[in-house]
Amino acid sequence: MNIRFNNEYLEKVFRSQRLPGKPRFNTEVILAFKKTILKLRSAGSLKELYNLKELNLEALKGDYKGFYSVRVDQKYRLILSVEAGGTIGISEILVIEELTNHYR
């Protein structure tokens, strides 16, 4: 699937670009985040993501209605939205919104 970042900080983390100040996430979380993005890219559709049980794709409710989450590790979740693709052959674009501590 095509991936687009709506969060500049996370895009820089994924591309291993230099970040100002103290890092928000530790090394293990960053590695798990990058692996999760690669798994998302390798999927052909949202339906395929539901079949990847290790990601635990869920449609969110309440304030996050219309968004989805996937598991990065036991503690962190990646919040995403889905856009319809505007190009022929691209059905969906995953938009990376934020990386959150699931238990805060």
For residue range 2-51, list pLDDT tens digits in order. Answer: 899 999 999 999 999 988 888 899 999 999 999 999 999 998 888 888 88
Phi-psi sector, 56: left (phi>0), alpha (psi -120 to 50), beta = left
Instruction: Show the CA angle centred on residue 99, arms to residues 95 and 100, nearest 5°.
Output: 135
For residue 35, the model assigns a pLDDT of 96
Strands 92-101 and 2-5: parallel
Q: What is the pTM of this model?
A: 0.88
Percentage of the chain modeled with pLDDT above 90: 61
Please give the C-alpha separations between residue 100 and each of 12, 51, 57, 92, in angstroms, as whole numbers.
16, 23, 15, 23
Give yes or no for residue 104 having a pLDDT over 70.
Answer: no
Give yes or no for residue 87 having a pLDDT over 70.
Answer: no
Architecture of domain 2-101: 2-Layer Sandwich (3.30)
For residue 33, the model assigns a pLDDT of 96
